[in-house]
Amino acid sequence: MADLSVRICGIEFKNPIIPASGVFGYGREYEQYYPLSKLGGIATKGTTGTKRTGNLPPRVAETPAGMLNSVGLQNPGIDAFLANELPHLLSAGTVILANIAGSTPEECAEVAAKLDRTDVHMIELNISCPNVKQGGAAFGTSCTAAAGVTRAVRQATKKPLVVKLSPNVTSITEIAKAVEAEGADALSLINTLLGMRIDLRTRRPVLHNNMGGLSGPAVFPVAVRMVWQVANAVSLPVIGMGGVMSGEDAAELMAAGASAVQVGTAIVQDPYAPLRIIDELNAWLDANHIASAAELTGSVRPW
């Protein structure tokens, strides 16, 4: 059996597979299926300064080779998260990445400051959600805005800071360099691509918000490309995501430059997907006589 452990920002993950923010909630629903300790980590549902109810339904729709979502960062707010969810998560026996968001840099910094006083392992700053009118991707599509919010959060916490990048940009490497310069410790990418479908029977978009984030295997080649570009543009570790459905997908994203891999839409289809992907990754490493998952990172040989 290969050594599946990986190290990011000085923190050891028992394996590189992490349920992505949004699809896994706070893990409670999945504990009936398996111990959360089997996971490499958990990226929590995005948390903001105050409670948000999210966007109006319909806000999730299936598409060929993926899904569209426009949930809109529904969450109970940071104080409720600290009181009701984080203590349970910290007892799960895995690395916890607290995903945060906000409408302003100041809100993001306030949330980070409250998390700084906890035992959470890492903070994942979402500057890339395409489904909110303020904050979200508005931060992540401009070097100046991305740098500004990263700087504000960096000043508010000493926790390892992972900045989650948007693919809906002209140059993701420039955004990556901007947040690296402002103190990000690692990067995660990609968030969803902005998409839209129309119900021809009603002539209405399938989502009430008209547009939403496209995820699933349809976006996987884009994720591989962007992870490779970013990993070669900055000196920070990268957590890759975007359409990972199998252990070989995870291996491919790691070969492109990812140190760990988040899994999203696959879990919507199958709650056991993270465990299956861990087993498949291990089997692939063994079959290819690779002693450790960490050896995969950045091993691609471009022409």
Q: Which residue type occupies 213?
A: G
DSSP class of residue 213 equals: E
Q: Which residue type occupies 5?
A: S
SS3 186: strand
d(CA 291, CA 269): 31
| 203 Rama sector, left if φ>0, alpha if ψ -120 to 50, beta otherwise | left
Token pair of 271 as six digits: 């709650």
Sequence-separated (6 or more) residues with CB below 8 Å from residue 113: 156, 157
Token pair of 293 as six digits: 């998952």
- 143 catalytic, yes or no? no
Element spanning 140, H or E: helix 137-140
Which among 172, 213, 215, 173 is positioned nearest to 195, based on CA atoms? 213
Q: Which of 9, 108, 129, 143 is catalytic?
A: 129
Residues recognised as catalytic: 129
